[in-house]
Amino acid sequence: MYNRLKSLRIQNNLTQKDISKILEISQSLYSIYESGKKPIPISLIYKLAKKYNTSIDFIIGDTNEITPHRNNIN
């Protein structure tokens, strides 16, 4: 999961500081999350999934499909 966070950030030409501003946390705390030294809260994973237009499943490694799931509820 942590490698995916870093890869998504780099693919989107963002710095840790950029992401920390989006998440409203310090850059040092985001660095700790991205390195896997501390688990990242699901609320922040959700924000990152929305920012990167992907699914939480992709970020946490449950799927390799980067596109977000569609809501099929009628």
Q: What is the pLDDT along the chain (74 residues), one digit of tens a residue?
A: 889 999 999 999 999 999 999 999 999 999 999 999 999 999 999 999 999 999 999 999 988 888 876 654 44
Residue 69: closest CA among 58, 45, 61, 47 = 58
Q: Where are the domains of the chain?
A: 2-60
Look at the pTM and tell me if it is higher than 0.85: no
pLDDT at 70: 64
CATH 1.10.940.10 fits 2-60, yes or no: no
Residue 66: closest CA among 18, 53, 26, 22 = 53
